[in-house]
Structure 1
């Protein structure tokens, strides 16, 4: 079996689960374009732990509705996939072998950064799923190291799905429509990220907050971009990044997706 790619997808607003958009249609077809994994390890921006990454070992992970102010239909959605505790323990063992401490949770469910894209990619919920947290306050470089330790999972049929948002400044949301015009500070950051990713310019990417245009404006906090660096690291040295989707929602959310292989 050929190694699986690693993926970074932008999950945008929870309304992605309900509202038609180019990003939603892209995710609906994405699962069909990939080799079928035996398990999925999701690295979501919405699970942050202190000091060290953690894995979820839940046998039946609950669907977490970790948001407010949205239609009732969104709170009624479920994603009843089985857990993937064996894949999670394998991930933990790989991290520990690399000298990275790992926490374990027997109860952590699937937050919306995980279940919203999964519900679109694999609507049958028939692939076991576990989550890996990002580390609060850790740098892009530290998250790339975490990813690098997980590279062997790609050869073992585990899809590493990093879920965040290429841009994520919700302070700039003013009720804009899903197809609102895109300001230059958003599009310029997205174009810079694409160019640096496709050039495999890891030095610039890991230092994005200092060298990318409008970096802090697009990411007042960087938890929604950190999963990308895990996916990049897990793809291994010399891996090529391919932009597999690009669109914008509400003017301020770049919904780009990248495959690393």
Structure 2
């Protein structure tokens, strides 16, 4: 089974996506790292695979314009690996200006001077909370004065409201430094790491796809900061490269039951623990799969550690 890995292949896959369907597909995508917006390429593993001239950066530059042209969304709902809450979904309600949360540390000042201008939408945020309540889940609005809190992984902790780097970094490449015509709302994922619960997080919002809302869930299929050679396909262990390949195969199963079971079984794969010492970068895959539960699936790109998959075609 072959999946798109080169620019010509992923551009063909993007062209093949259905235009303005009755239900916009939900997408899992690789959100990369702050090095996507680095000023120059370095020799590090992270920069070579996720730097400004790498495959992921080039894909995101193609991905965003294709989404806007094909779907002309009324709004964007985004999930990131970097915003987790337990049992209750938090929904940004920031009004006319979505602030940014520089939730990384140890970078040069340039990375803390980044801008991405966008607006929220109160009606959309309220609609999301209502859909969670209808699905028997808890949801609450998170306003400009509310801190998102510390995720327990960054050090020192950075707190406050705003879009984390799993949103504004890839969105800068996808949409430019400003989006003034499409509101963007972020929703938290389920911190327990439970596949079923994160699937339900996405499924509860499936109705939005019929209302012109684009659902994007960002993460990475390999994320091990303790063993950075796993970020490069050339240096990664065989177990991890086999795991990464198994993801696109599992997602492509045509029958829903088989697809869901195959996706859940990925957490039992021999390479999973080495690819993911913690699961927060992997479970957004389940959010997107739940949001696009009904319908077909298309692997739009199979970039190592950062594929993009459309659910609900």
What CA distance in whole angstroms lies between the structure 2 residues aligned with 1:187 and 1:179?
7
- Give 1:11's aligned residue: 31
Rg larger for: 2
- Give 2:262's aligned residue: 204
Cα distance per residue 1:9-66 (max 9 Å; x no partner): 1122211123211110110111222222111111011111122221111112211111
SS in 2 for 1:65: coil
Aligned residue among 241, 245, 255 for 1:191: 245
- Give 2:6's aligned residue: none
- Give 1:67's aligned residue: 104
Unpaired stretches in structure 2, ≥5 consecutive residues: 1-19, 39-51, 145-160
Cα distance per residue 1:216-236 (max 9 Å; x no partner): 111111111111111111113
- Give 1:49's aligned residue: 85
- Is contact 1:85-1:130 (8 Å) kept? no
Q: Residues 33-182 of structure 1: matches in 2 within 5 Å?
A: 33-34=66-67, 35-59=71-95, 60-107=97-144, 108-123=161-176, 124-126=178-180, 127-173=182-228, 181-182=235-236
What CA distance in whole angstroms lies between the structure 1 residues aligned with 2:31 and 2:140?
25
Change (3 A) 1:171 1:82: same
SS in 2 for 1:147: helix
What CA distance in whole angstroms lies between the structure 2 residues aligned with 1:91 and 1:177?
34
- Using the size of structure 1 for normalisation, the TM-score is 0.90
- Give 1:251's aligned residue: none
Change (3 A) 1:192 1:179: closer
RMSD: 1.9
Q: Residues 219-230 of structure 1: matches in 2 within 5 Å?
A: 219-230=276-287
Count of aligned residue pairs for this structure pair: 253
What CA distance in whole angstroms lies between the structure 2 residues aligned with 1:150 and 1:197?
20
- Give 2:54's aligned residue: 21
SS in 2 for 1:207: helix
Aligned residue among 256, 263, 272 for 1:215: 272
What CA distance in whole angstroms lies between the structure 1 residues aligned with 2:280 and 2:193?
9
- Is contact 2:32-2:170 (8 Å) kept? no
What CA distance in whole angstroms lies between the structure 1 residues aligned with 2:308 and 2:109?
28
Change (3 A) 1:17 1:220: same
SS in 2 for 1:223: coil
- Using the size of structure 2 for normalisation, the TM-score is 0.76
